[in-house]
Amino acid sequence: MFKMNAGAWIGLAGAIIGIVVAIAAVLMTADSSGLYITLGTLIIIGGMIFLFYKLFFGPILNANRLQKTGLPGTATILEVKDTGVTINNNPQVKLKLEVKNSLGQKYTTDCRVLVSRINPNAFLPGMEIPVKIDPKNEMNVVFDVSGKVRNAHPFADTQVNTVALTAELEQMQKENDAIKLSGKTARAIIKKFTWLGINVNGNNPYVELEIEVLPENSASFGGKTKGVIAETSVNRFQPGCEITVKYDYYDNSKIAVEHS
């Protein structure tokens, strides 16, 4: 969580006071044309301050407040999107969450969180994360920095069942190789990306994709497939992205990603 220290608050307050004093001095000494220019400048500065607060200071204050006063809950990450905002070289992402409150009720909302540049896969679809919920507005949710992130796959507990995991990966690879060998090629649209809690050969995530397959000469159909995605390709396998798959013509439930 990003916190404002005393020096930052003092600097911000000093800047605001300086701007107010400078504008007041101009207003007291300016003629009519100078007055219009000053008022225009004041409106522009005010708009910039409001925008800066809305995008930067507001979320920080909200997050700090909810860390102390928010109700605990859990949420499953449904989708991760880059906001284009970077703070101290750390990117900010927007998480689409399915939240479960203390009463067991589920609903969908969004929150924004900073991701360390040295751990870009800290938040992935399928993860279960702790959150703090605003008691006055349940749609206002922030990531609980004091909680523990739980992975979505049974192999992702503290001690991985290496034998079972190896067997699952080998079986998955064998099935995918068979589909790629004799299957038909088609385009597909990703509907849901779920990390299964395991990285293979480094930071390459083992995932399940829910997709809509779009064959050229037949009706589209939905399906699921599992596979290991290269770390550098994760962004190309998010919901809405188009990929190429191979599927069994006689059993549409058998689908394999052609390239990852």
Res 31 pLDDT > 60? no
Q: What percent of the chain has pLDDT over 90?
A: 22
What's the number of CA atoms in the CB half-sphere (13 Å) around residue 23? Answer: 17
Asked if 58 contacts 74 with a C-beta cutoff of 8 angstroms, the reply is no
13 falls in which pLDDT band (50, 70, 90)? low
Q: What percent of the chain has pLDDT over 70?
A: 70
Asked if 123 contacts 80 with a C-beta cutoff of 8 angstroms, the reply is yes
Res 28 pLDDT > 90? no
**pLDDT for the residue numbered 65:** 87
DSSP-assigned beta bridge partners for residue 206: 198, 228
Tens of pLDDT along 137-175? 999 999 988 776 665 544 444 344 566 677 778 888 888
The candidate with the shortest Cα–Cα distance to 233, out of 222, 224, 221, 241, is: 241
Distance CA 132, CA 101 (A): 9
**pLDDT for the residue numbered 25:** 59
Amino acid at 192: K
**84 conformational bin, left if phi > 0, alpha if psi -120 to 50, beta if neither:** left
Q: What is the mean pLDDT of residues 234-253?
A: 90
Residues 6+ positions from 189 with CB-CB distance below 8 Å: 211, 212, 214, 240, 241, 242
Amino acid at 205: P
Asked if 108 contacts 100 with a C-beta cutoff of 8 angstroms, the reply is no
Asked if 152 contacts 128 with a C-beta cutoff of 8 angstroms, the reply is yes
**pLDDT for the residue numbered 5:** 47
Distance CA 56, CA 229 (A): 34
- Best-predicted range by mean pLDDT (52-56, 103-107, 118-122): 103-107
Tokens of 132: 């703090």
Please give the backbone phi and psi of residue 117, each rounded to the nearest 5 degrees, phi first: -65, -20
On whether the pTM is more than 0.75, the answer is no
Residues 6+ positions from 184 with CB-CB distance below 8 Å: 215, 246, 247, 249
The candidate with the shortest Cα–Cα distance to 127, out of 193, 63, 203, is: 193
Tens of pLDDT along 169-199? 888 888 888 998 989 999 999 998 887 777 7
Tens of pLDDT along 125-135? 878 888 999 98
Q: Across the chain, what does the average pLDDT equal? A: 78
